[in-house]
Chains A and B, each alone.
Chain A
Amino acid sequence: MKSPGFDHRMNINRRHFLGKLGVGVGSAALGSLLVPGLFSSKGDSADSISGLTHFAPKAKRVIYLFQNGAPSQLESFDYKPTLNTRFGEDLPESIRGMQRLTGMTANQERFPLVGSKFSFSQYGKAGTWVSEIFPHIASIADDICVVKTIYTEAINHDPALTFMQTGAQVGNRPSMGAWMSYGLGSENENLPAFCVLLSRGRGNGQGVYSKLWTNGFLDSVHQGVQFSSGEDPILYLNNPAGTDKAGRREMLDQLDKLNQLSYQTYGDPEIHTKIQQYEMAYRMQTAVPEVTDISKEPDHIIKLYGPECIIPGTYAANCLLARKLSESGVRFVQLYHQGWDQHDNLLRDMPLQAEDADRPSAALIKDLKQRGLLDETLVIWGGEFGRTNYCQGRLRVDNYGRDHHPRCFSIWMAGGGIKTGTYGETDEFGYNIVKDPVHVHDLHATILHLMGMDHERLNFKHLGRRFRLTDVHGKVVPGLIA
């Protein structure tokens, strides 16, 4: 009978084998000692995963304020007075073209246009249009870039959301945060490199699932870690009742010895990963309470984010926590704020959503700016697609709703090397893009670029081919970069 050890050595998977080989070559190469940089990648095809950026980054960290459910661009940043003057008229077929519609409106007999009931004004040096339900975001108009021409391919929440987060409509590709963790490594080894914070607004919600922050085929250390709003922000991190810190330390030391023994026998690199994970968790027991403690925040910072920010699990609390995590070196903080799916009753629900999201989002930008961190932190605010310029269901004078619209929607970005003002233009109906389209893949390429990574070089070989966040698409959008 063959020893199990032998079997296991034979079974070490190729990824680990190649990974080990890479480290071996990199660390032992005589040449690199004699001539520093001789083996550094300068070629075009080399995909160096060194935890270092490919070129000088503009942003070191990302905070993605995902507005889940898809807030209407027509009631927020894409001002279309034509829709008010043509209230109730049918959307011309020439404008709608061959657009695929969702099952919710595909059988509608009419597509009556409806304009925003909320008024718009211009703010900042660039005269950015912002609707009245986002007064605080309006106040930071000079710090943000409103991109009106993002477009996607998906028309339903789950595929659109998955596409936005992973670059593919089907699940199980690595999420953007996982790619960043993989490409750039952790800045602070006492916290996860990729953190996820959830909140739920008062409007019609759509679910979010852990597949959105998956590591996909990357190593599991790159998976997003969800913070919960309960007593333990990270589940199972605290010592169980009856175990003290010294006891935990001793236990880990003994466990380490056993793990080392088993590494000598089996040679599985996962054992080393495991040891490191235990050590990181031990350090997180100190670091996490420190970073999640908001009791020392002064009143005027609480006021900036709004009083909700002291209630764990609210969007405001998550924005404040995002600042603290990001400040502590977390590469990618992903927020999801649910409840933006206004198929009907938009006039009641959207202001409620805006009320929750407006002040804290603006506060985060101000807070980062005031600490000298905005120039190195990229903040992204937006949903998974836009909403139709026509009413879903029967149009009434005093209320309406909007269906999903993939052809154009608005997001805003701030800090981290993003230019300020507005980018892109849609037609007078707010239905089609007329200038400077930005596909989701282009957005991803641009975000990676700002982080100092070439989206074509950040890849991972899996199932026989190289995968990227942008797959085989995507182009950096120079017009978005300051």
Chain B
Amino acid sequence: MLGLLVFAEKFIEIPRLLQPIGRMHPLVLHFPIVLFILLAFVEVYKKSIGSIGYKRMLPYLTFATALTSLISALMGLFLSQESGYAGDGISAHKWYGIGLTFLALILFNSSLKKQGSSLHSLLFIGSLVLSIPILIIGSHKGANITHGKNFVLEPLNSDEADKALTGEVYADFIYPIIKRKCINCHNDDKTKGGLNMTSIYSLIKGGDSGLSIVKGSAEESELIHRINLPIEDEEHMPPDGKRQLTENEIDLFIAWINEGAERTLKTAAVNPQSDLFDLIKNQGESKRINQYAFKAVNQKVLSSVNGPFVNARPLFVNSPALEVDLFVRKTYTPELLNALKPIRDQTVHLNLSGLPIKDDDLNFIGTFSNLEKLLLNGTDINGDNLHALNQNTKLTSLAISSTSVASEHVLMLKDHPALQEIYVWDTQLNEDDIDYLKAKLPRINLHVGVMAESQPPIPLSPPILVNNKEIVGTDEDIVLEHKLNGAKIFYTLDGEDPDETSAIFNHPIRINKYTQIKSRSIKEGWLPSEVVTHNFYVKGKPFEDLRLLTTPNQKYQANGARTLNDFEKGEINKFGNKKWLGYQETPFSALIDLGADFDPASQIILSYGLNMGSYIMAPTRVDVYGGNNLKNMKRIKIHRLPLPKDYVPNAEVALPLDLVDNQFQYLQVIAYPMKMLPQWHAGAGAKAWLFVDELFVY
């Protein structure tokens, strides 16, 4: 039967029912392998086993070997009848397997007749010796069919990304995917489904289901159809359990087919409007970056270089190239730089920005043979030794911004073999130097940025009020400052806008009444700042008692009446911050008791907020009542405010209410909120808010 199968296989069709048996071949074949090895062991150690035991076990052992060999050979033949197994590898494996089976039969036969017959003994030994190499070679061929070629050594092989690019889309981008994910089952030896993907021609030709690729139409291509089937589908490729294609790989396949699936398509010739262009552009760059010929640094060396102030790391996983950064000026020592010696040939990016690097150090940096980008911004170099960088023959980008290099130093790099970019912003160079250098260094791109002299003047920022306190005692200092070196502050107390003829601020100010300070900062090369206005309130008379006669809206009650004399000014942009009392419809009404031995008040200041976008408006009217008896208060002041005609900027407003001939212990202040927002307001018709935060009596 075996003979029949071997010689007449072309005329035989294996019934479907037998196919599962055939598929058990890769499982069963391990029995004869082990038994052959066992036989060899038994033969070698037969003296230790003892001749009786040896003679008894030998027929059983050879029988088992022969039987399992025969069964696995049959199974193998069944399996080979399935589609997808063809080619030289299969046929060699087949003959090795059959040879081994015959040897097993001879071994069984001669083990039965071996007693005393030297011919059979010789036959036995000869067959056994012969079987071992056949076993090894045959198994190897078989393993290649099941697992694919180079399965064992694959992890040792470097990624195909390391190899030079050919410039062809198929070779550089498509075939590597096929090789990773498809070729194990679709090669010259194992053509599952009749498909062989080792060459583009056999790929397009397809397998049992016909053409696998319709050039120019991924949609109609069987390959893409199969890939896109749900993974549970029988026909999905790669089959469930095998490594699947990533989305990016699928996109690449689709784009490549849509662009015509030509083997000779050059990467450079891909239509820039196509998806393919976008997809390969990224990958191409990753591959290019990966093309460093030098060896990676030993991991131990790399760890020893790294520390809190030195960061040296591969550009990405598996890259031999390193990027190296050194940090923190204060803790820098020259040893940190010198310690890079063992990794200098692998360093392609070196960042020393901001460190006290000197010109002498450039000699050492010049020995970094593969350096491509060097950042020396803000270092202490003055450029005398810049020519040392001519040794860095791979250096393409050099940044020396914010250093004191001058034109003649940059000129030293005139004949540099690789330099493309030099960043020289914020150096000694002026516009004439730049023009000169551009003429002298035509190949090099000089990045000069925005030159100081070409910047149009802009206004300075206004002075800042230190402590940010607007309610002060008469013994407290008011201090204005500006952070920019050389900026002067001018100010006025009379409401006029200050200019360079006004008082210059150089010592703290003290005040004894409500004062408006206007100030601005001025510096050469800048436009004067805008004028800032600060309202300073002097802490007023102490109150014996202060009560609210109406309740603020429940959302803005802050700390009740205390809010009005806690000496904390609120900012109206932060009206929710508990420094404001908010009223809607209900008027604000507060009663002040100055105490029995009071000094009569001459002025009240009511401080309210304006934030029209948030519906916070000025009061329409403020009344003051006075009396020495709470039952007999009379109105002593009416103050009406004009209705606003448009939005005004947010502000905290001090409303002074002068009291003439006032002699009263009790004062009541009533402020009426606007009933509804005016017509021009986005919220026209809605209720307006009144926000009050402080009340002073002088």
Residues of A within 8 A of B (CB): 35-38, 40-44, 48, 50-58, 60, 187-190, 202, 204, 279, 283, 286-287, 290, 295, 298-304, 306-308, 310-311, 327-329, 344-345, 348-349, 366-367, 369-373, 393-394, 396, 399, 401, 449, 452, 456, 475-476, 478-479, 481
30 A-B residue pairings within 8 Å (CB atoms): A40-B318, A44-B244, A52-B313, A52-B314, A52-B316, A52-B317, A56-B316, A57-B316, A189-B308, A204-B613, A299-B525, A303-B455, A303-B458, A307-B458, A307-B461, A311-B461, A328-B327, A329-B325, A345-B613, A345-B682, A369-B447, A369-B449, A370-B447, A371-B375, A371-B399, A371-B402, A371-B423, A372-B373, A372-B377, A449-B282
Residue of A nearest to B243 (CB): A44
A476–B317 CA distance with the chains assembled, in angstroms: 20
Q: Is the CB of B328 within 8 A of A190?
A: yes
Q: Is the CB of A348 within 8 A of B647?
A: yes
> With A283-B308, A286-B330 in contact, is A370–B278 under 8 Å at CB?
no
A53–B323 CA distance with the chains assembled, in angstroms: 13
Q: Is the CB of B450 within 8 A of A304?
A: yes
- Scan residues 306-339 of chain B and give those whose CB is less than 8 A from a CB of chain A: 308-309, 311, 313-319, 323, 325, 327-331
| A324 CB → nearest B CB, Å | 9
* Residue B232 interfacial (CB < 8 Å): no
| B309 CB → nearest A CB, Å | 7
Name the residue among A308, A370, A481 with the largest chain B CB count within 10 angstroms.
A370
Count of chain A to chain B residue pairs whose CB atoms are closer than 8 Å in the complex: 178
Q: Is the CB of B455 within 8 A of A304?
A: yes
A396–B325 CA distance with the chains assembled, in angstroms: 57
* A58 / chain B contacts, CB cutoff of 8 Å: 285
* A393 / chain B contacts, CB cutoff of 8 Å: 682-683
> With A188-B311, A190-B327 in contact, is A306–B458 under 8 Å at CB?
yes
Residues of B within 8 A of A (CB): 155-156, 158-159, 243-244, 246-248, 275, 278-279, 281-282, 285-286, 289-290, 296, 299, 308-309, 311, 313-319, 323, 325, 327-331, 351, 353-354, 373, 375, 377, 397-399, 401-402, 421, 423, 425-426, 447-452, 455, 458-461, 464, 483-485, 525-526, 529, 573, 613, 647, 682-684
A409–B694 CA distance with the chains assembled, in angstroms: 44
* B328 / chain A contacts, CB cutoff of 8 Å: 190, 283, 286-287, 290
Q: Is the CB of A36 within 8 A of B296?
A: yes
Name the contact of A56 in the complex, choosing from B243, B289, B448 (C-beta under 8 A): B289
Q: Is the CB of A372 within 8 A of B275?
A: no
Residue of A nearest to B285 (CB): A56
Residue of A nearest to B246 (CB): A44
A351–B318 CA distance with the chains assembled, in angstroms: 50
Q: Is the CB of A48 within 8 A of B308?
A: no
- Helix, strand, loop or mixed for chain B's interface? loop
The 4 A-B pairs with the shortest beta carbon distances in the complex, nearest first, are A370-B449, A478-B278, A372-B399, A300-B452
Name the contact of B317 in the complex, choosing from A50, A302, A396 (C-beta under 8 A): A50
A449–B243 CA distance with the chains assembled, in angstroms: 22
Q: Is the CB of A372 within 8 A of B397?
A: yes
Q: Is the CB of A41 within 8 A of B317?
A: yes
Name the contact of A310 in the complex, choosing from B243, B248, B289, B483 (C-beta under 8 A): B483
| A301 CB → nearest B CB, Å | 7
Q: Is the CB of A190 within 8 A of B308?
A: yes
* A449 / chain B contacts, CB cutoff of 8 Å: 282
A35–B426 CA distance with the chains assembled, in angstroms: 49
A304–B454 CA distance with the chains assembled, in angstroms: 11
Q: Is the CB of B484 within 8 A of A56?
A: no
Query: A189-B308, A295-B485, A307-B459 known; 8 other A-B pairs, CB under 8 Å?
Result: A44-B244, A52-B316, A56-B289, A190-B327, A290-B354, A302-B484, A371-B402, A394-B682
| B166 CB → nearest A CB, Å | 19
Q: Is the CB of B425 within 8 A of A54?
A: no
* A399 / chain B contacts, CB cutoff of 8 Å: 682
* B243 / chain A contacts, CB cutoff of 8 Å: 43-44
A310–B315 CA distance with the chains assembled, in angstroms: 36
Q: Is the CB of B353 within 8 A of A327?
A: yes
> With A190-B309, A303-B458, A370-B447 in contact, is A286–B331 under 8 Å at CB?
yes
A327–B315 CA distance with the chains assembled, in angstroms: 18
Residue of A nearest to B247 (CB): A475
Q: Is the CB of B246 within 8 A of A310?
A: no
A279–B307 CA distance with the chains assembled, in angstroms: 12
